[in-house]
Structure 1
Amino acid sequence: MTTSFIQVFFFLLAGIALIIFLTVKYRVHPFFALLLACFLVGFGVQLSFANILTAVKDGFGHIMQSLGLIIVLGTTLGVLLEHSGSTKVMANFILKKTSEQKAPLAMGITGFIIGLPVFCDSGYIVLSGLNQSLSKRTGLSVVIMSVSLATGLLSVHCLVPPHPGATAAAVTLGVDLGKLLLTGMAVAIPGMIAGYLWAQYAGKNVPIVEAATEHIDDTKHSPSVIMAFLPVLVPVFLIAVHSMFTLEKNNTNLFEKIMAVLGEPVVALSIGVLLVFANMHSLKKNIISKLLQEGAEKAGGILVIIGAGGAFGAVLAATKIGDHFGQSLNLSGMGIFFPFLLTFILKTAQGSSTVAIITAASIIQPLVPALGLDTENGRLLCVLSMGAGSMMVSHANDAYFWVISKFSGIEMRPMLKVYSTATICMGLVTLLVVYLLSLFLL
């Protein structure tokens, strides 16, 4: 029996509503919510149980094959950077290069750089003591300082691999990770600046919150500045160079062949992990073993969500949703705006940027031709548009919102007034940048 556009659209909305309802109302893990949505949509459009199960297994397996090692290595790199003292060394170096009155901007830049390999919530926790101490020393509002740091971390979290949302969306839409890394970093800069400027504007009218006195941990075991930066910069450099070489055909010289190997994301991240070990020579073997276990366990929780997102996307593809939308609606005029709006709605409704962009990518993938984005550049812009949408709006249903609040001592009202509105500014500015790029790339 054939299915109509209305039937497919209704059960698509029902699947999204189920994900939001289960994760927000009952705090069900997104993996199970996405899995249940697969069967709701599949049965709703009259797919057989066997076809649904095949789509779920194929979608889950494809994502694991493409992303498994990247997510594990990226997560482990972030954990090791935190515990080796590298993040604080990098932060202190950046702060020493700026004046005290430019401290909020310095914290935004610090968040941007450290956020490349480290998840935003972990990065904020690691740097919160430094942030509060600097606020105390300079007399600047901890609200301005905290929001500048938080938005710097968030800007790359939503747009740049190896962060799970952007990475999963790239694989789902067939976007080269190296190109997304370079373009995502460039697009994230205006978003970071927008967050900093809004923090300066909105935070100046908020009563100064007294920052807790906290000692900055500069131990004798901290790595040098060069050794602290190398595990971050070397993988970025290798992946970027590899991506540039892929733009050329018939690369035959020895250097290009070597870079083709070293620039693979799995190899580049592995090199980053090995470089961190040089900063951990003073730690006991059992501690290093525990940190590696922590990285693997943290990655596992992310991978099951990403895999379920891939399964959901495979079920949606099996419903021929792209054909239905293409025949029934004119989406070509919406271009990059439809992915942005969808991700923004999902982010605002359920809180997680990662879940929002993974879910949105699953829905958008079969719609790419109808949106007029079925080119290499179009798919890249589509991922960046979803990244912009996943920035906003961060509020009380977002775990990162509460990490910032609790570790900076900011009450909910100023958090909503300054941080939540800052994420709106970030998302809109980033979308504007993506739109301007589309004028040249499409």
Structure 2
Amino acid sequence: MLDILILLVLVAGIVLVTARWKVSPVLALLGAALLGAFAYRIPVADIVTTITTAFGGTLGNIGLVILFGTMIGVLLERSGAAIAMAEALIRLIGTRFPTLTMTVIGFFVSIPVFCDSGYVILNSLRKAITLRTGVSTLATSVALMTGLYATHTLVPPTPGPLAAASNLGVENLGLLIGIGLPVAAVAALAGMLYANRFLHTKLPPITTGGDDMDTPEAEQTYEELRAGYGRLPHAFAAFMPILVPLLLICFGSIAKLPGRPFGEGVPFEIIGFVGTPVIALMLGLVVAASLLRGNGKLDTFNSQIDEAIRVSAPILLITAAGAAFGAVLAASPLMDVLGDSLSGLGIGLAVPFLIAAALKTAQGSSTVAMVTTSALVAPLLDSIGLGSTMGATLSVLAVGAGAMVVSHANDSYFWVVSRLSGIPVATAYRSLTVATAIEGTAAFAAIYVLGLFLL
């Protein structure tokens, strides 16, 4: 019982210092790892080795994958490729069903682009579709928000799923992508259906008193935003930086299946090499770089890569710090206690989902929730019946589903959506927060059903 109490104190401490006092999650996780090592009486001579080995090993395993994925996302954002993808999907789907259009756009754009950035980029497009179709701003906002959120937490190469996969020992990213995409589609569909209830809801005016935020300053129109990018990339070229690495990773996974579908020898070695996540994303980066236009392309490329490095650095460090915290827990007697307790409950995939949901709701960051939860759960997989490759893969997705539940005032994404869309805070709680709860629950329901057949 004491071991469990120590864990609760450590997790509560992480939430308190990150959410209330705004301490960096990196320091919070490393501090929890150090305090936990002493509290669990790990030999002093082993503490530093345990922390640094897990920290460095995680950076070595997943660091370049997160870095290259972030670089692709920044290049797509800055080159106008995200707008080009959105326009292509509008031509394909049309504007007859605006919530479906916004959901699908968000679903694809957020595979490489962070959901916060994706909403900022696509908000002017959302406003244009809202005006063109005459539906409520609230409906299109919820649809875009949930569409972006679905792939942000469930489909690599977004950093959250990558970090969780690393912590849980999932090396087959092709399998994770192949299962994650349909699960994310279920989550996005649930978000879209919920958005439809607001099709004719008129928003109340935003007030400046209480907890409501001021009305945002005048923004660019969609036409002004589009013109700012100059000539947009062709739609096919815009999708290629996403499709190339995803397809290569999937082919690489298929090539390694028993029976060797692509044969042995040189073809197997080539497909296996280019299907390695690091190489696949590196090739995707090369394709993304080809989207840059105009004079000074090299300077533009260098500046955007520098930006991507600045964006990815905190994520890399949070992921590594979370792994260090998890390594300390794995070396403690806590795992035997939890394993015995949880194995008797028979709730399996609900364990990572509920822990991630609790952490997400408490401290706001989906990425921190995914990193911390996966580090906590990793040593427990065998004891809760999820030690197989498929079990670990579904656990990553369960963590991602939990990391959607729920977005509210301590989540930056909540404020990005509500502020840019002009949604009063009280209304945002009743719509955006509820939407993320529904979306995350729907995702977990799909994962649970898959588990009945695949585990």
Q: State the TM-score bracket (shorter-chain normalisation).
A: over 0.9
Structure 1 position 184 matched with structure 2 position 196: no
Whole-Å Cα distance in 1 between the matches of residues 392 and 295 of structure 2?
Answer: 44
Structure 1 position 323 matched with structure 2 position 336: yes
Match of 1:374 among 374, 380, 387: 387
Structure 1 position 207 matched with structure 2 position 203: yes
Equivalent residue for 1:136?
Answer: 131
Equivalent residue for 1:3?
Answer: none
* Deviations 1:263-303, CA, capped at 9 Å, x for gaps: 11111111111111221031523222111100111111111
Equivalent residue for 2:400?
Answer: 387
Equivalent residue for 1:418?
Answer: 431
**Unmatched 5+ stretches in structure 1:** 1-5
How do 1:13-412 residues align onto structure 2 when only pairs under 5 Å count?
Answer: 13-175=8-170, 176-202=172-198, 204-207=200-203, 214-216=221-223, 217-218=226-227, 220-249=230-259, 251-284=263-296, 285-331=298-344, 333-412=346-425
Whole-Å Cα distance in 1 between the matches of residues 58 and 425 of structure 2?
Answer: 37
Letter in 1 for 2:147: G
Letter in 2 for 1:271: L
Letter in 1 for 2:244: V
Give the drift of 1:101: 2.8
Whole-Å Cα distance in 2 between the matches of residues 332 and 170 of structure 1?
Answer: 25
Instruction: Note if contact 1:347-1:390 (Cα within 8 Å) is conserved in structure 2.
Output: yes
Whole-Å Cα distance in 2 between the matches of residues 190 and 50 of structure 1?
Answer: 48
Give the drift of 1:54: 1.3
CA 1:300 to 1:213, structure 2 compared with 1: closer, same or farther past 3 Å?
closer
Instruction: Note if contact 1:132-1:213 (Cα within 8 Å) is conserved in structure 2.
Output: no
Instruction: Note if contact 1:11-1:40 (Cα within 8 Å) is conserved in structure 2.
Output: no
Instruction: Note if contact 1:169-1:361 (Cα within 8 Å) is conserved in structure 2.
Output: yes
Instruction: Note if contact 1:332-1:370 (Cα within 8 Å) is conserved in structure 2.
Output: no
Instruction: Note if contact 2:205-2:424 (Cα within 8 Å) is conserved in structure 1.
Output: no
CA 1:190 to 1:49, structure 2 compared with 1: closer, same or farther past 3 Å?
same
* TM-score for both structures, normalised by structure 2: 0.92
SS of the aligned residue for 1:369 comes to coil
SS of the aligned residue for 1:158 comes to helix
Instruction: Note if contact 1:63-1:307 (Cα within 8 Å) is conserved in structure 2.
Output: yes
Instruction: Note if contact 1:143-1:208 (Cα within 8 Å) is conserved in structure 2.
Output: no
Give the drift of 1:137: 2.2
* TM-score for both structures, normalised by structure 1: 0.95
Letter in 1 for 2:241: P
Letter in 1 for 2:269: K
CA 1:102 to 1:384, structure 2 compared with 1: closer, same or farther past 3 Å?
same
Give the drift of 1:322: 2.2
Whole-Å Cα distance in 2 between the matches of residues 213 and 279 of structure 1?
Answer: 24
SS of the aligned residue for 2:97 comes to helix
Give the drift of 1:203: 5.4
Larger mean Cα displacement after TM superposition, 377-386 or 202-211: 202-211
Whole-Å Cα distance in 1 between the matches of residues 14 and 312 of structure 2?
Answer: 22
Give the drift of 1:150: 1.0
Letter in 1 for 2:285: V
Instruction: Note if contact 2:356-2:399 (Cα within 8 Å) is conserved in structure 1.
Output: yes
Equivalent residue for 2:215?
Answer: none
CA 1:331 to 1:322, structure 2 compared with 1: closer, same or farther past 3 Å?
farther
Letter in 2 for 1:167: L
Instruction: Note if contact 2:203-2:423 (Cα within 8 Å) is conserved in structure 1.
Output: no
SS of the aligned residue for 2:222 comes to coil
Give the drift of 1:161: 1.2
Letter in 1 for 2:8: L
* Deviations 1:94-130, CA, capped at 9 Å, x for gaps: 1122232312211110111111111111111111111
Letter in 2 for 1:180: L
* Deviations 1:220-276, CA, capped at 9 Å, x for gaps: 421111111111111111111111222225541433322111111111111111111
CA 1:265 to 1:27, structure 2 compared with 1: closer, same or farther past 3 Å?
same
Give the drift of 1:208: 7.5
Give the drift of 1:414: 1.8
SS of the aligned residue for 1:207 comes to coil
Identity over aligned pairs, percent: 38
Letter in 2 for 1:410: I
Whole-Å Cα distance in 2 between the matches of residues 42 and 378 of structure 1?
Answer: 28
Whole-Å Cα distance in 2 between the matches of residues 208 and 115 of structure 1?
Answer: 29
Larger mean Cα displacement after TM superposition, 384-393 or 322-331: 322-331
CA 1:398 to 1:391, structure 2 compared with 1: closer, same or farther past 3 Å?
same
Give the drift of 1:49: 3.4
* Deviations 1:296-334, CA, capped at 9 Å, x for gaps: 111111111001001001111110332222345544501
SS of the aligned residue for 2:96 comes to helix
Instruction: Note if contact 1:332-1:372 (Cα within 8 Å) is conserved in structure 2.
Output: no
SS of the aligned residue for 1:334 comes to coil
Letter in 1 for 2:325: F
Letter in 2 for 1:259: I
Give the drift of 1:209: 7.7
Whole-Å Cα distance in 2 between the matches of residues 195 and 233 of structure 1?
Answer: 24
Whole-Å Cα distance in 1 between the matches of residues 199 and 222 of structure 2?
Answer: 25
CA 1:213 to 1:164, structure 2 compared with 1: closer, same or farther past 3 Å?
closer
Larger mean Cα displacement after TM superposition, 248-257 or 228-237: 248-257
Give the drift of 1:212: 6.3
SS of the aligned residue for 1:9 comes to helix
Larger mean Cα displacement after TM superposition, 278-287 or 24-33: 278-287
